[in-house]
Amino acid sequence: MRRYGKNPDEDDIRSRPNPKGNRPRTNIRPKHEDASEGMVLTVDRGRITCLVEDRVVLAMKARELGRKAAVVGDQVGLVGDLSGKKDTLARIVRIEKRHSVLRRTADDDDPYERVVVANADQLAVVTALADPEPRPRLIDRCLVAAYDGGLEPLLVLTKSDLASPDELLETYKALGIRYVVTRRDELASGYAAGLVREYLDGRVTAFVGHSGVGKTTLVNALVPEDRRRTTGLVNAVTGRGRHTTTSALALPLEKADGWVIDTPGIRSFGLHHVDPSRVILAFPDLVPGTEGCPRACSHDEPDCALDAWVAEGHADPARLYSLRRLLATRERREGD
Ligand SMILES: Nc1nc2c(ncn2[C@@H]2O[C@H](COP(=O)(O)OP(=O)(O)OP(=O)(O)O)[C@@H](O)[C@H]2O)c(=O)[nH]1
Ligand SMILES: [Mg+2]
Ligand SMILES: [Zn+2]
Tell me how far apart the alpha carbons of residues 297 and 290 are, in angstroms, rounded to a whole number: 9
Q: Which pLDDT belongs to residue 7? A: 45
| Closest ligand 1 atom to Cα of 159 | 31
Average pLDDT over residues 106-133: 90
182-227, pLDDT tens digit by residue?
999 888 767 877 888 889 999 999 999 999 999 999 998 888 777 7
Among 61-65, 81-85, 275-279, 303-307, the range scoring the smallest mean pLDDT is 275-279
Contacts with 172 (C-beta within 8 Å, 6 or more apart), sequence order = 139, 155, 179
pLDDT at residue number 187:
85
Q: What pLDDT sits at residue 25? A: 52
Index of the ligand 1 atom closest to the CA of residue 160: 31
What ligand has the least distance to the C-alpha of 126? 1
Q: How far apart are the first and last CA of the chain?
A: 34
Q: Which ligand has the nearest atom to the CA of 208?
A: 1
The reported pLDDT for the residue numbered 6 is 43
Vertex 205: Cα angle to 180 and 258 (nearest 5):
105
Q: Tens of pLDDT along 224-270?
A: 777 777 666 666 665 555 578 888 999 988 777 899 999 999 888 88
Res. 335: pLDDT tops 50: no
pLDDT band at 275 (very low <50, low <70, confident <90, very high): confident
**Is the CB–ligand 1 distance for residue 165 below 6 Å?**
no
The total number of residues shown for the chain amounts to 336
| Residue-wise DSSP of 220-253 | HHHS-HHHHHHTT--PPPPBTTBS---S-EEEEP
Across residues 39-49, what is the average pLDDT? 92
- Alpha carbon nearest to ligand 1 atom 3, residue: 159
Peptide bond into 132 cis (omega under 30): yes
Ligand 1 in contact with 161 (CB < 6 A)? yes
Of 96-105, 107-116, 236-245, the one with minimum mean pLDDT is: 236-245
Q: What is the pLDDT of residues 304-327, one digit of tens each?
A: 999 999 999 999 999 999 899 888
Mean pLDDT of 48-76: 93
Rounded Cα gap, residues 308 and 314, in angstroms: 9
Name the nearest CA neighbour of 278 among 7, 17, 97.
7
Average pLDDT, the chain: 84
The number of beta carbons lying within 10 Å of the beta carbon of residue 153 is 22
pLDDT at 290: 95
C-alpha pair distances (Å), 205 with each of 125, 126, 219, 250, 255 = 10, 12, 10, 9, 16
